[in-house]
Structure 1
Amino acid sequence: MSRTAALPDAWEPKVRAVLASVRPDLARRPLRPLGAGHESVALLLDAESDTYVLRFPRGETGAASIAREARLLPELAGTLGVPIPRFAFTAPNPLGPGSFCCYPIVPGESLDEEDWHARGLLDEPETARRVAELIEAIHAFPVERARELGVPEVDLRARHTRELPRVHAEVVPLLPPDEARRLVAAYERYLGDDGNFVAPPTLIHADLSLDHLLVDGTRITGLIDFGDVRIGDPDYDLCYLWPETNPAFVRRLQEHRGRRLDARLEGKLRFWELADPVSDVLYGIEHGMPDVRDEGVDLLTTLLAP
C-alpha cells in the first residue's frame, strides 16, 4: 500500500463501533491511517501489548481478497520460514462491502526500492537465498488445496489476449508512434510463443515486490500483502523483482532455486515489466484516475524508448 489513505467521512466512529462489538479491548485504542491500495485501505491500531493492522476493502474485489486470505493464510503460514499476516478476526466492514480483517503487525520495516539499493541489501549474501526459499515454499503449497480454499487460477495468455484490443484502442493513442509499435510488438511476441505458457501452475504470491518483504537490519523478517494470491505461472513471482532489483540479483536468486535466468525467462520478465504499467493506464482510464493513467504512460514511454 503506497497511496495516501482515502477514508470516508465519519470513518472513526464507525470503525470503533464495530470494534466494540467484537473486541471491546481495542475499541478505544489509538487509530491512525497506514496507507491505501486500489482495493483496500489500512489503519494501524496501537494496543497495550501489540500493534494491529486493520484492512478495509473498498470494493467487491478487495472483499473477495480478504475472504480468500482468511481461508488460505492460516495454512500457508506454517509452511513459510518468516511471519506473514495471521488474522486475529474478521468482522463486517463498516466502510464498504464484505468483511475487514485485523491482524498483529508483521515484524520488520517496509522499504521502498530506493532504500533497498541505498542500504546495499541486495548485495547481502543471504538476501537472494532467503527470497528464493520464500518463493519455493509458496510454490510448493498443494495446488489442489489452494483451489479448495478458493484461490482463483489466472491464465496469463487469455488475460493478455483479452487486454490487447484495449491496448490498441486506449493505450496506443497515448504513446509516441515508435513506442506504441514496440508495445504492440511485445504483446505479439509474448502471446505468439507457446513456450511461454508450458510451466505447470503453482500457488503464487503474484505481488512479490521489495516493499512487501519486511526487513530488520539486513534480515528478511516477514512477507505481507497476499491480496493478489493466485494459481498461475510460477515465473510471475519474479515479475516485480526484475525491475526493482537487477539481472545479477535475479540470476543469483534463480541459482539458489536450482534454475537459470535464461533468454526465455528474461523475455517473459521484460514483457511483464511493460504489462504492469499498461494495467495501470487501463485502470486509471476505467476508474477516472488521471494520475494513475499518466504515471503509467510516463513509465511505458521510458521503458519503450530506444
Structure 2
Amino acid sequence: MASKMWGLQTKLLVEQYLAQMYPQLASQLTLFAEGWDYRIYLTSKEMVIRVPKNPWSQTHLQYEMAKLHTLSLPLDFPHYIKTSGALGVYPLISGKDLRRATPTDHMIRQLAQFLRTLHQDTYLPQKTVISHHRHRWVKRFEHLYQETQEKIYPLLSVKEQRRTSHYFDQFLDDISQSSWSVSLIHGDLTPEHIIAENGFIKGIIDFGDMTVGDPAYDLAGIPIQWETDELALYAQQIDSDGHRQFYRQMKVLHTILHGLDQGHVQDVEQAIEMFRKGI
C-alpha cells in the first residue's frame, strides 16, 4: 500500500496554502534552498517561505515561530508574520552567507554580542528546572552514542571504535558531573546561517534546531579560526572544559547518520574520513 504524502510536499500545495492563508503574498515562488528538514522558497515580494518536510520539523517550527516572537537580539533574525501554521513566512534578510568569506573584526564582535545576548537566562522558559534540562542534554548524546554504535561502528576499525567509545565515555562522564550553564541556544549556528553585507553581519537565520542546552554547542559550528578577540574570550568563559571540540565531532556523526538514512554514499565516505581525523 502506498504511503500517504505528508504535509505540503510540493510547490503547488505550498502555493495553494499561501493563497488561502496569506492572500496578500500571492506571487511567483522560487525554490531557494533545501535542508534535511525544510524546503525554503522565496516569493517575488522578497518573503521567505519555510516549509517543514516531516512531522518533527513541523512541530519544531511552531516552537521556533512562537519563541522568536519573544526575543530581542542585537542582530536581525526571522520575524514570522504569524506564530503558528503549516509553514513559516518572514521578510527576507538581504545579504550573503559567510561560507566563503572571512569575517572582519567587527563581525566577530557582532557575533560575540549576539551569542552573549541569546544565551542570557532572560530567554529560558518560565519555571525552567536546570537539572531537568541538563539531564535531557545528556540523554541526547547517550542516544547519539547508541545510534553511532549500531550504524557507524560497522564502518570503523576496531581501534577506531575503541577511540570513539572512549571519546563518548569521557564526555558523558564529564558533562554528567560538572555544573555547566544552561541556556537557550540557536542549535545550528554555522557560517551559512550568518548573513552579512558590506562588512557587517545583517542577521542570523535557520533557528530550526533552537532548544535549551549547553551554550558551548553554538560555538561548535563556527570555524576555529574565527575564535579571536571577544569571541575567543566568550568561548573561554562558557566552555573552559573544551566541550565544543566534542560537539564539532558530533556534527560530523550527524552528517554520517543522515547520509546513511538517505543513501548518500559519497557524503558518508567524506564525513567518515573527517571523523577519523578528529578522534
TM superposition shift of 1:162: 2.7
Q: Residues 199 and 251 from structure 1, CA distance in 2 versus in 1: closer, same or farther, beyond 3 angstroms?
A: farther
Specify the alignment match of 2:253 in structure 1. 278
Residues in 2 aligned to 1:259 and 1:204: alpha-carbon distance in whole angstroms: 17
Q: What 5-or-longer segments of structure 1 have no aligned partner? A: 1-7, 93-98
Q: Is the 8 A contact 1:128 1:256 kept in 2?
A: no
1:155 corresponds to which of 127, 131, 136 = 136
Matched to 2:54, the amino acid is G
Specify the alignment match of 1:81 in structure 2. 74
Does residue 250 of the first structure (1) align with residue 227 of the second (2)?
Answer: yes
Matched to 2:272, the amino acid is V
Residues in 2 aligned to 1:87 and 1:44: alpha-carbon distance in whole angstroms: 14
What aligned pairs does 1:262-301 form with structure 2 within 5 A after superposition? 264-265=241-242, 268-301=243-276
TM superposition shift of 1:189: 1.6
**Residues 175-213 of structure 1 deviation map (CA, whole Å, 9 limit, x = unaligned):** 244433322221122112257742131111111111111
Specify the alignment match of 1:18 in structure 2. 17
Q: Residues 46 and 245 from structure 1, CA distance in 2 versus in 1: closer, same or farther, beyond 3 angstroms?
A: farther
Does residue 110 of the first structure (1) align with residue 110 of the second (2)?
Answer: no
Q: Is the 8 A contact 1:146 1:203 kept in 2?
A: no
Q: Is the 8 A contact 1:83 1:106 kept in 2?
A: yes
Matched to 2:16, the amino acid is A
Please report the TM-score for the alignment, with normalisation by the length of structure 1.
Answer: 0.77
Specify the alignment match of 1:130 in structure 2. 110
Residues in 1 aligned to 2:154 and 2:239: alpha-carbon distance in whole angstroms: 33
Does residue 70 of the first structure (1) align with residue 65 of the second (2)?
Answer: yes
Does residue 44 of the first structure (1) align with residue 42 of the second (2)?
Answer: yes
TM superposition shift of 1:9: 11
Q: Residues 229 and 197 from structure 1, CA distance in 2 versus in 1: closer, same or farther, beyond 3 angstroms?
A: farther
Q: Is the 8 A contact 2:216 2:235 kept in 1?
A: no
Residues in 1 aligned to 2:37 and 2:9: alpha-carbon distance in whole angstroms: 20
Q: Residues 212 and 145 from structure 1, CA distance in 2 versus in 1: closer, same or farther, beyond 3 angstroms?
A: farther
- State the secondary structure of the residue aligned to 1:131: helix
What aligned pairs does 1:210-249 form with structure 2 within 5 A after superposition? 210-241=191-222, 244-246=223-225, 249=226
2:53 corresponds to which of 58, 61, 74 = 58
Specify the alignment match of 1:4 in structure 2. none
TM superposition shift of 1:278: 1.3
Q: Is the 8 A contact 1:214 1:221 kept in 2?
A: yes
Please report the TM-score for the alignment, with normalisation by the length of structure 2.
Answer: 0.84
Q: Residues 19 and 223 from structure 1, CA distance in 2 versus in 1: closer, same or farther, beyond 3 angstroms?
A: same
RMSD, aligned CA: 2.9
Choose 286-295 or 182-191, whichever is displaced more: 286-295
TM superposition shift of 1:235: 1.4
Q: Residues 9 and 195 from structure 1, CA distance in 2 versus in 1: closer, same or farther, beyond 3 angstroms?
A: closer
Matched to 1:61, the amino acid is W
Q: What 5-or-longer segments of structure 2 have no aligned partner? A: 1-6
Q: Is the 8 A contact 2:77 2:204 kept in 1?
A: yes
Matched to 2:246, the amino acid is F
Specify the alignment match of 2:186 in structure 1. 205
% identical aligned pairs: 22
2:153 corresponds to which of 169, 172, 179 = 172
TM superposition shift of 1:237: 1.3
- State the secondary structure of the residue aligned to 2:187: coil
Q: Is the 8 A contact 1:90 1:102 kept in 2?
A: no
Q: Is the 8 A contact 1:209 1:240 kept in 2?
A: yes
Equivalent residues, number: 269
Residues in 2 aligned to 1:100 and 1:89: alpha-carbon distance in whole angstroms: 9
Q: Is the 8 A contact 2:47 2:89 kept in 1?
A: yes
Residues in 1 aligned to 2:158 and 2:230: alpha-carbon distance in whole angstroms: 37
**Residues 120-155 of structure 1 deviation map (CA, whole Å, 9 limit, x = unaligned):** x2xx221221111000111113313496xxxx8873
